[in-house]
A and B are shown apart, each in its own frame.
Chain A
Amino acid sequence: MLALPCPHCGTRDEAEFQFGGEPAIRPPSAVTDTVWADYVYMRSNEKGPHRELWCHAGGCGQWFVLTRDTATHAVLP
């Protein structure tokens, strides 16, 4: 079980968090279908350092971005 840093509450057990996947920048609707589909569906799924969204759902409710090494689970600054 991971220990994750909530920006408000400090380090807490993974069980308190909800995973939100890789963040994506929402493009304006004027973009092409391909650009829009990339935003909606395509994720890099990196092995190694990976930026991802987490929500301290069982605590303060804050969503935040965390960089985690997906191979070692190390939380990176």
Chain B
Amino acid sequence: MRLALGGRIDRAKKLSFTWNGAALTGFTGDTIASALLANGVKIVARSFKYHRPRGVFAAWVDEPNAVVDVRWGDQHDPNARATLVSLQDGMVVAGVNGYPSVAHDAAGALDLLHRFLPAGFYYKTFMTPSWHHYEPRIRAMAGLGRVGAAIETRAFETRNTRCDVLVIGGGPAGIAAARAARAAGASVLLVDDRAELGGSLLWDNATIDDGPALDWVATAIDGVRVLSRSTVFGAYDHGSFAVLEDRATAPTGWAEPRLWVVRAAQMVFATGAIERPLVFPDNDRPGIMSANAVLAYLRQYGVLPGRRVIVATNNDSAYATAIALRDAGAVVEIADARPDAPNIEGIRVRPASVPLATGGRGGLAWVDLGPCDGSRRERVPADLLAVSGGWSPAVHLFSQAGGALRWDDTLAAFLPDAAGRHVAGSVTGAWDLATCLAQGHRAGLDAAGRASDLAAPHAPASALTRPILPLWGLDLPGTRQWVDYQNDVTAKDVRLAASEGYRSVEHLKRYTTLGMATDQGKTSNVNGLAILADATGQDIAAVGTTKFRPPFTPVPLAAIAGLRAGALFAPLRHLPVHDDHVALGAEMRDYGGWARPACYRGIGETTAAAIKREATNARFRVGLFDGSSLGKIEVQGSDAAAFLNLMYYNEVANLRPGRLRYCLLLRETGVVYDDGVVARLAADRYLLSPSSSHTAGVLAMLELWHQTEYPTMQVAFHDVTAAWATFAVSGPKSREIVVALGGGADLSEQALPHMAMTETMLGAVPCRIARVSFTGERSYEISVPSGYAHALWRQLLDLGEASGIMPYGIESLSVLRAEKGYILIGTDTDGMTLPVDLGLEGPLRAKKIDFVGKRSLLTPDATRPDRRQLVGLLPADPAVVPVPGTHAVLRDGGGKRSLGWITTACRSPVLQRSVALGMIESGRARMGETIDLFHLGQFSRATIVAPCFYDPAGEKLHG
């Protein structure tokens, strides 16, 4: 119920929302969980495995139960934690994992079968015939909310920032640290996951520097950059942290969470602590809550979750809850597991007393209290049981950042080993405010690395400081004591796992799923491993914790992807005349990161027909191809010739200016990395044309060799790919079109033969014309600065109209080059292909210098006679085009052995039959042989021929 007064909610702003269809109200400042509790809602969820009814347990990120489906406007979060989401007017909230509802769940009967569903149940049971047989139905039964399709379209943004000191946690210690570091002159970023700074000060009614603590907070953060509602979810290398900023209540309206990547020179971990539940029979009943959460609901939201309350504890922190409940008008008893009982006015304190059983329909009605051994018990009516099993310092991020942990028996907690790191507050096991403030101040100054005369904040010391009595479950056979609420792991499951040999905490986790739910075991881990320690006869210190990994809280993958999604995931580069291609009906596809025309389909034309038309036209009339994506790297310097001669397989130093040569570039392994035409522009200047997708790689390779192996050579490299557009005019009628283009260049066969180039002007536009061909036809590659690309493209189409010019795409080019046996690197070659395998042995014999990869070509493996070699293949059935990847096999009795495979295959328009290229073992020695092909269980036949099916003499290049 909601109290008439109190809380940090705005009672003037009433909000309407629905819970499973029922209309309820709350206030601005509420979370969904506080509003549900204010409305008396007990059951908010069903557990993952047994579908047990569960209520709100905690008040913040540690909440194990209250995962709900939230819709608000067109936003949908199928797995929202009710304790974190700020209530908004018009929110539609529903339970998950319950059918028809979480209050009346048909699958709740599963709980009756619990005896047959122990830890490891899935691994033991659903193995015949296979897990996949059962998985779909199990997945439908288990699990949480259902993801909608809308999430794909949401845009998340990412920001980067840096600071001298990152303070993680906006409680008293963190604020004191930020205040001190700022006073010492550091740039400070304070990240806190609540809407309001203060941490425990929000419910402690504390005093700092002799005034209300929250007044101190307001002045302490002067000059400090604050990210509120932001969770540091990952600590990474070299002071980098990932932060998720929840912007659901941004002042400008609803916004997607924002990812921050923070680089900090120093960081202060003031991450606080998380209250542990007590482990006792039936401790998962709705109406059983964390004692500290009860205090938070009371003080932050003005919500009294029960009127007849038992506070069960083994430490002093829960006394504050009991006193606050008493002051709010509740009837309160304390069951303290410890033997001594302090006098608290108006509250009965039962010493040496723990809950032994709980009962009630749809909630809590009674609790049996008595000593741990259950030798006596008294049934006490109650509608709320507030429990505290002690505190677990939130060491998650400290540990992620590489900090070591140690178990402290007195505090019953894993503590950070602070050596060389800055830690402050309850994460160090300090439970009282005065100590937390002093630690924070010290840590802030240390992190800033400078002194300040700013006085440390002070607060009164705590009244109650008795030690905790660790309690890790009760030895009461036949009872069910829950450790992990969300994943339904009981103390008995932990003991069973231990008895089956799962002694390592990492194995325990995976076998029982302890700590693997969406809350990542924030409330359950320490209880679980303490029980494991007991069951295996080890110390808790020896058992240790599971490794803490990011993320600390669930993070949408879309937030990590940010804008790198959809069309922006790997944006395609566009050609200078992209729009012209599209206007001509081109089908644009991704080729090596460029959007390039596959072919230009006419209306009603199939892709196959378009390819045949374009290829035939380029063979017998003239075609126009956009080669602008082909790499262009300019190499300049007095040592350019000598350097490139060391890089390339082929001789390039003796190339005359104005001449071109087809060259291979190898890796030091001897494997062919790239091929392309090398042009010599001048004595000290070359132009390389790497494959479209290799340009960056070739440039990086040249830089690496220059910088590391030949640093004294005078040579420099520059990628000018985007600066020039290149169009290839190819076919018997190409020359007349280039002549018609004008310009002063001599295009005669003597002046510009095949593999020559000239630089000229088209009016005022510089232009390069190169005789180079990838089709086997006479071809001219014409390059102009990209700004003139559209004009040249239009002009070539206009000038060629009478000759029947047609643009042709990559797919058509692939057919033309396959007919000629021109290889495509990465298609016809792979990570094992050497130049000799391609029949290119000349340079190896002729070139004396140690070019890249040469020595690797002289090894026994490189000179084996049975290497796979490039050959042509003519399928026995000329109508069938074999699939690339089809193996050539040697049939040997019942078995078969691969001889290699087909790398390229197509239907050749000019030959009117299928042709293929392949890499076949000892291929050149098998010319004329007919061999078996094998693909997907089917055999066929093909004849090995030379890898050139059309104009093998190359007469058409000059014709």
The residues of A with any CB-CB pair to B shorter than 8 Å are 1-3, 13, 18, 20, 23, 26, 28-29, 31, 33, 36-37, 39-41, 53, 55, 57, 61-63, 72-73, 75
Contact = CB atoms under 8 A, between A and B. Distances in A.
Contacts of B450: none
A2 B236 CA distance: 8
17 contacts: A2-B237, A3-B237, A3-B238, A3-B263, A13-B263, A20-B704, A26-B668, A28-B850, A33-B859, A36-B855, A36-B859, A40-B668, A53-B708, A55-B703, A57-B700, A63-B707, A73-B238
A23 B322 CA distance: 66
**5 residue pairs, one from A and one from B, having the closest CB atoms:** A3-B238, A29-B855, A63-B707, A73-B237, A1-B240
Given A3-B239, A18-B700, A33-B859, 11 more contacts: A1-B238, A2-B237, A3-B263, A26-B709, A33-B860, A40-B669, A40-B856, A53-B704, A55-B700, A63-B708, A73-B238
Interface string B850-867: 100011101110000000
B556 interface: no
B261 interface: yes
Contacts of B856: 36, 40
A63 B703 contact: yes
A18 B860 CA distance: 33
B775 to A, nearest CB: 35
A60 B888 CA distance: 48
B859 A29 contact: no
A6 B826 CA distance: 33
Contacts of B238: 1-3, 73, 75
Contacts of B859: 33, 36-37
Given A33-B859, A40-B668, A1 B237 contact: yes
Contacts of A72: 402
Nearest to B849: A29
Contact of B708 (A2, A13, A23): A23
B235 to A, nearest CB: 11
Interface residues of B, number: 23
Nearest to B708: A63
User: Among the interface residues A33, A39, A57, which one has the most CB atoms of the partner chain B within 10 A?
Assistant: A33
A1 B708 CA distance: 26
B239 to A, nearest CB: 7
Nearest to A57: B700
Contacts of A3: 237-240, 263
A63 B261 CA distance: 26
Contacts of B855: 29, 31, 36
A53 B708 CA distance: 10
A21 B236 CA distance: 22
A37 B668 CA distance: 10
A6 to B, nearest CB: 13
A27 to B, nearest CB: 8
User: Among the interface residues B261, B708, B854, which one has the most CB atoms of the partner chain A within 10 A?
Assistant: B708
Given A2-B238, A13-B263, A62 B704 contact: no
Interface in B228-245: 236-240
Contacts of B707: 62-63
A73 to B, nearest CB: 5
B497 to A, nearest CB: 31
A29 B708 contact: no
User: Among the interface residues B239, B261, B856, which one has the most CB atoms of the partner chain A within 10 A?
Assistant: B856
Interface in B540-591: none
A12 to B, nearest CB: 10
A55 B697 CA distance: 13
Given A33-B859, A63-B704, A63-B708, A1 B850 contact: no
B192 to A, nearest CB: 23
Nearest to A63: B707
Interface string B684-708: 0000000000000000100110011
A36 B669 CA distance: 10
A28 to B, nearest CB: 7
A61 B703 contact: yes
Contacts of A63: 703-704, 707-708
Nearest to A3: B238
A1 B236 contact: yes
Contacts of B402: 72
Nearest to A11: B238
A42 to B, nearest CB: 12
B160 to A, nearest CB: 8
Interface in B655-706: 668-669, 700, 703-704
